[in-house]
Structure 1
Amino acid sequence: MGSDRFSTAARLKAIGQEAHARVYRAAAARRPARRNKLTGRAALLALVLCALVIALAYPMRQYIAQRSDIADQRREAQQAHQKVEQLREQKARWQDPEYVRTQARKQLHYVMPGENGYSVASPAPTGDTQGAAGAKRKSAGSPGDDGGQAAAAAHRPWYANLWDGVDHADAAAPPRQ
């Protein structure tokens, strides 16, 4: 009896394996159709995503550029605000009569009534210090350029140089017809 029993078990096992193989083949037959639908859907989804990326690329670039421009404008506005504050402070200083007196003494060399003003002139340049620099200026200058005259003009007051410039400009002007 024992041998029949094992043969029945072996038969049942073989039947189970055949059934499993049939189910596996049936599932495998259905899968390719499902994969084709899934692949088509995936391709359509990829196409839609690519279209969205392309459609949104230019507006996003414009958005980023505008945000950069806004940041630049805010930075410039902040700098302008700081400049306005500096000018307000400077205006407030110039409203103070003591500051005005100090600046007039310092920059314009003004003196108060009853005070004596002194100006210290720098010593005249010696021939040794001017010799090398004058030779360089003469060699590098234009044919009508006089290096000694430029050095002398540097040691004169500004108003004397201004009047000399006006006189030279008047003399060099062509006659009017």
Structure 2
Amino acid sequence: MPARDHRDRFSTATRLRALGEQTAARVYRSQSRRQARRSRLTGRAALLVLVLCTLVVALAYPMRQYVSQRNEIADMREQLREHRANVERLRDEKARWEDPAYARQRIRERLHYVLPGETGYTALVRGAALQGPQPGGAVSHRAWYANLLTGIDRADASDR
């Protein structure tokens, strides 16, 4: 039998079989190395993804707060701009009221004052005596005493 193994060892079929087994062993080792590399890369990738997700979750709330505070700051700057414009308007109005001629003119218009020697006229509009305060708090352009008398008449009528 040993002589036969000697011949079989050099036969083409035996050589091809041995070559095939060696090739299969190399492929198997190569595949197991690739799988080992893949599993290591997959573990590293999973760790990287876990770290990134943790960072995103950890930074989400502070970023949301940052954005909302930036919006709040922008709103407050807009309010500040509006308030400054209102202050300027009120300063201008105050300066106008400090002028005696302007104050006298406005007082005469609103209170229907006349100077000694002048004759005052009030034009009555049909139904104006029946008008009271306007809905929504709008100011009536009637004389102050007309509003006063209308209020007294209404109070007197509500008692009856």
**What's the TM-score bracket when you normalise by the shorter of the two chains?**
0.5 to 0.7
For 2:34 and 2:125, how far apart are their aligned partners in 1? 105
Cα RMSD between the aligned structures?
3.0
Residues 57, 154 of structure 1: alpha-carbon distance in 2 compared, 3 angstrom cutoff: closer
Which piece of structure 1 moves more, 151-160 or 59-68? 151-160
Q: Check if 1:161 corresponds to 2:150.
A: yes
Q: Structure 1 length as normaliser, TM-score?
A: 0.58
SS, match of residue 37 in structure 1 = helix
**Equivalent in 69, 73, 89 of residue 70 of structure 1:** 73
SS, match of residue 157 in structure 1 = helix
Question: Which AA in structure 1 matches 2:149?
Answer: A
How many matched pairs?
Answer: 125
- Report the alpha carbon displacement of residue 154 of structure 1 after superposing the two structures with TM: 3.2
Q: Gaps spanning 5+ residues in structure 2: where?
A: 1-22, 133-144
**Equivalent in 87, 94, 98 of residue 84 of structure 1:** 87
Q: Check if 1:109 corresponds to 2:115.
A: no
For 2:112 and 2:153, how far apart are their aligned partners in 1? 23
Q: Structure 2 length as normaliser, TM-score?
A: 0.64
- Report the alpha carbon displacement of residue 84 of structure 1 after superposing the two structures with TM: 0.9
For 2:125 and 2:152, how far apart are their aligned partners in 1? 22
Residues 122, 56 of structure 1: alpha-carbon distance in 2 compared, 3 angstrom cutoff: closer
Structure 2 equivalent of residue 100 of structure 1: 103
- Report the alpha carbon displacement of residue 58 of structure 1 after superposing the two structures with TM: 1.2
Q: Determine what percentage of the aligned residue pairs are the same residue.
A: 48
Residues 97, 152 of structure 1: alpha-carbon distance in 2 compared, 3 angstrom cutoff: closer
Q: Gaps spanning 5+ residues in structure 1: where?
A: 1-20, 126-150, 173-177
**Equivalent in 34, 45, 54 of residue 51 of structure 1:** 54
For 1:163 and 1:29, how far apart are their aligned partners in 2? 104
Instruction: Tell me the alpha carbon deviations over residues 31-90 of structure 1, each in whole angstroms, 9 at most, x when there is no partner.
Output: 332222112111110111011111111111111111111111111121111111111111
